[in-house]
Amino acid sequence: MDPTTPSSGDHTASTPTNTTVTLPPLTLRDVPRLPAADPIPNPISSRPCFHPPPTFYISPGDVSLRHAFFDLASGTPDPLVAYRRAGPRGSLAVDPARARAALVTCGGLCPGLNTVLRELVVGLQELYGVRDVFGVAAGYRGFYGADVDHVRLDPAAVDDWHKKGGTALKTTRGGFDLDKIVDGIVARGYTQVYAIGGDGTMRGAVAIFEEFKRRGLHISITGIPKTVDNDIGIIDRSFGFQTAVEVAQQAINAAHVEAVSAVNGIGLVKLMGRSTGHIALYATLSSRDVDCCLIPEIDFHVEGKGGLFEFLYERIKQKGHAVVVVAEGAGQDLIPRTDDQKREQDESGNNLFLDIGPWLKSEVGRWWKREHPSELFTLKYIDPTYMIRAVPANATDNLYCTLLAHSAIHGIMAGFTGFVPGPINGTYSYIPLEDIAVAKNPVDVNDHKWAWVRSVTDQPDFLKPQDY
């Protein structure tokens, strides 16, 4: 029996009780450290505006738990995993006067990239007094390309970067040549590397970290996870995601206006989300104008009984219009493709997707003409793909970017390496790079969030009768 179930059967409320539960042992999933030099007092202590009290610094025993909740009846995670809490340490393992930092952005754009860069530059120089901070242009290939610049950065140069979308350093995909990258890092005398990017960038950072170790180099590396799709696991969310959801509202509003203003109108919006539907899901929940949300995690069929088109027809008969939000990775199996198309990849080796938006638009149109030829029909398609990521971060993401950048700097200056800073259940923590590089974050279609989507859209499963 559940240990917390009261045994009495009467109907008066019981008084609160304490139930003691024995938890499994705690495992600290620690992050690597460079060999320690003589500790140096943290210079933040002597900064006039800080006056840090003893509790300001994170103690060596300060940890956060990976799982904040569990069901006592079905067993707790065993072992319980903990991570080191992020934040400033009382003493440094790195001499700021000898530090030389390289910042690089890789992969697709994401709101907040420039804020992270700004705060890395300002934090390194103003918190720790690191003077040699360089921006590496054009992603990982910038470490070795002859035609790319390494730009010296200081607080004045980056002052207004948080107000700008994109990345001032430029970004690229592909070009990951491990030997050349590490040779380039060594040749420029960098002692610390900050790699800002998504899952591919994190896998690249793991490879660089391993190569540092193999060559016996005392160079530290941290990855700052960036993905507008929110597809990186363990951390609560990735920066830029909330901004993207916010901007997506404009597209959904426009689709809604177009749909309600037409006779039998459909507004169709395609949103980013290659392998995960978080943007579509959150945009749907916030909007409440959406009748149907389609994400990569759930298969759907379009024609026939229980299909999407039948649902849309019925919704239009009820309300006069319908709004559909589709994530770019949804329904990929439905779109016919040639063998060549199946093999297409971008420069980083990511499979290229076919465009679900125009395909859905033309399929709905053809279906309507065939099934309801005498009824008027209008479908307006909106593709705000790059608009939702090529914008400056909103206030929440800007603050988040600052905390990530500062957490990264504090960790590096304390001597950690091969780690990623990120919030876990709201507590900023240091997570091994190798864990983040493989941690995915698909939409859990069995949890409450997806149930909320259903309650907002009242959409069915779009399964074929034989799949029920």
Catalytically active residues are: 229
Residue 139 buriedness (CB in 10 A; 0-12 / 13-18 / 19+): buried
Instruction: List, in order, residues 6 or more apart from 177 with CB less than 8 Å away.
Output: 141, 144
Site string for ligand F6P, 256-275 (x = CB under 6 A): ----------------xxx-
- Residue 327 interacts with ligand F6P (CB under 6 A)? no
- The token pair at 61 is 């025993």
**Nearest to Mg ion by Cβ — which residue?**
198
Q: Which is nearer to ligand F6P, 219 or 280 (CB)?
A: 280
Q: Is 1 known to sit in a ligand binding site?
A: no
Least distance (Å) between residue 396 CB and ligand F6P: 19
Q: Which does 175 bind (CB under 5 to 8 A by kind): ligand ATP, ligand F6P, Mg ion, none?
A: ligand ATP
Residue from 123, 139, 184, 198 binding Mg ion (CB under 5 A): 198
CA distance 221 to 430: 13
Q: Is 400 known to sit in a ligand binding site?
A: no
Q: Which does 328 bind (CB under 5 to 8 A by kind): ligand F6P, Mg ion, ligand ATP, none?
A: ligand F6P
CA distance 172 to 324: 32
- Residue 346 interacts with ligand F6P (CB under 6 A)? yes
Total interface residues for Mg ion by CB under 5 A: 3
- DSSP letter at 232 equals B
Residue from 228, 252, 326, 436 binding ligand F6P (CB under 6 A): 228
Residue 151 buriedness (CB in 10 A; 0-12 / 13-18 / 19+): middle
Q: Give residues 398-437 in contact with ligand F6P (rule: CB under 6 A).
A: none
Site string for ligand F6P, 373-392 (x = CB under 6 A): ----------------x---
Calculate the alpha carbon distances from 429 to 193, 388, 396, 421 in Å. Answer: 19, 28, 19, 6
Q: Confirm if 410 and 88 have CB atoms less than 8 A apart.
A: yes
Q: Confirm if 343 and 286 have CB atoms less than 8 A apart.
A: no
Instruction: Please provide residue 133's backbone torsions phi and psi, each rounded to the nearest 5 degrees.
Output: -125, 130
- Residue 200 interacts with Mg ion (CB under 5 A)? yes
- The token pair at 121 is 């530059």
- The token pair at 237 is 């969310």
Contacts with ligand ATP by CB under 6 A lie at 106-108, 139-140, 173-176, 197-201, 203-204, 207, 227, 348, 350
Q: Which does 389 bind (CB under 5 to 8 A by kind): Mg ion, ligand F6P, ligand ATP, none?
A: ligand F6P
Q: Is 261 left (phi over 0), alpha (psi -120 to 50) or beta?
A: alpha
Least distance (Å) between residue 224 CB and ligand ATP: 11
Least distance (Å) between residue 170 CB and ligand F6P: 12
Least distance (Å) between residue 340 CB and ligand ATP: 21
Q: Which is nearer to ligand F6P, 198 or 331 (CB)?
A: 198
- The token pair at 430 is 């240091």
Closest by CA to 82, choosing from 131, 34, 24, 129, is: 24
Q: Which residues are annotated as a binding site?
A: 108, 173-174, 198-201, 227-229, 272-274, 328, 386-389
Q: Which residues are annotated as a binding site for substrate?
A: 227-229, 272-274, 328, 386-389
Write out the residues near ligand F6P by the rule CB under 6 A.
108, 198, 227-229, 272-274, 328, 346, 389
